[in-house]
Amino acid sequence: MASTDERRFEVLRAIVADYVSTKEPVGSKALVERHNLGVSSATVRNDMAVLEAEGYIAQPHTSSGRVPTDKGYRQFVDRIAEVKPLSTAERRAILEFLETGVDLDDVLRRGVRLLAQLTRQVAIVQYPSLSASSVRHLEIVPLTPARLLLVVITDTGRVDQRIVELGDVISDEDLSGLRNLLGGALEGKRLAAASHAVAALADDAPPQLRDAVIRAATVLVETLVEHPEDRLVLGGTANLTRNAADFEALPGFPGSLRSVLEALEEQVVVLKLLAAAQQPGTVTVRIGEETQVEEMRGTSMVTTGYGLSTVLGGMGVLGPTRMDYPGTIASVATVAKYIGEVLAGR
């Protein structure tokens, strides 16, 4: 890139930094005073005029300074040379906090709380897709002679517990037979295949176990079927209210804080935006109209996948386009990395 273009990018970088920090449109005089740009105010004004003509910045009000546009933020994000990593102490605190989670639900909720606190935005994490999960172990615990607790543990760390009411008492010998029968049908299988396998068990079950198998299979099939309403955990939604004005900062923008909140309630919209987060360690940034959701045009989403060798799900943050992109990218990448490590170690 030519030196003039480099200088103009430095002006754009300074405008983004000041606007993110102050929430106020940025003028040429403030840029010269706050940043060591090495040029005069007149040169900065000329550079700002070119940036505005090319669509990188805009003037929200007459006689005001300039603010970055979606195109300007995209140019800034694409040219972030170095994302400042979190400190060693911060990373250690994150890992220790996640490691104390008692199960998958707790780990994901802790991750969302952390991410919301670190970024001061809305944090979102997707539950591991059950279609990609396998049954690691089935445990059957007798609560009474006629009531059983079924505990299904998947390789993604999900633990489901269900009660089975038997029609009659079951002997220790028959309980052992039931445990072997159900465990053999489930363990090591993907959840969809496990669901079919357990549903077919009753046909070949020993007569004395058939009723217990039918009752247990009915409960297990319900457990193994994916429930879309359980797919997302959100945290820090109240953070949006701190930046309500950002969603109507640019002329012609039709959205509002209310429309963003309504879009968040439609989980299918958020799941679609997380769908591109297929590679752990690769952070995707969608800015404004790039979300392709009309109600969320004033937002940006920073997302990635979590998991070690296999992506278990997507996670990230949503906030106004006026956000600290380097800090947000670092936080999303770090929390996702440690969630993947914690779940892999369970």
Q: Indicate where the chain has its CATH 1.10.10.10 domain(s).
A: 3-78
Check the CA dihedral 246-252-258-263 and report its sign. Answer: negative
Query: With 80 as the cut, is the pLDDT of residue 61 above it?
Result: no
More confident residue, 323 or 279: 323
Average pLDDT, the chain: 85
Task: Report the range of poorest mean pLDDT among 5-19, 77-91, 210-224.
Answer: 77-91
* Mean pLDDT lowest among 154-163, 203-212, 242-251, 320-329: 242-251
For residue 125, the cross-strand partners are 233, 315
pLDDT tens, position by position, 275-313: 765 666 789 999 988 888 887 888 899 999 888 777 888
* Percent of the chain whose pLDDT exceeds 90: 39
* pTM summary value: 0.75
DSSP 129-184: PGGG-BEEEEEEEEEETTEEEEEEEETTS-EEEEEEE-SS---HHHHHHHHHHHHH
User: Quick one: pLDDT at residue 86?
Assistant: 83
CATH architecture of the domain with range 3-78: Orthogonal Bundle (1.10)
- Return the closest-CA partner of residue 338 out of 302, 298, 309, 308: 308
Q: Does domain 131-225 have CATH number 3.30.70.260?
A: no
A 10 A CB-CB count for 222 gives 12
**CATH architecture of the domain with range 88-128+230-344:** 2-Layer Sandwich (3.30)
DSSP character string of 5-36: HHHHHHHHHHHHHHHHHH-S-B-HHHHHHHS-
pLDDT of residue 1: 42
Name the pLDDT band for 117 (thresholds 50, 70, 90).
very high
pLDDT at 63 over 70: no
Distances (CA, A) of 341 to 132, 139, 310, 327: 18, 25, 11, 21
Q: What is the pLDDT of residues 119-159, one digit of tens each?
A: 999 999 988 876 667 888 899 999 998 999 999 888 877 78
Domain ranges in the chain with CATH number 3.30.390.60: 131-225
**Residue 2's CB: how many other CB atoms inside 10 A?**
7
Q: Pick the residue with more confidence: 250 or 55?
A: 55
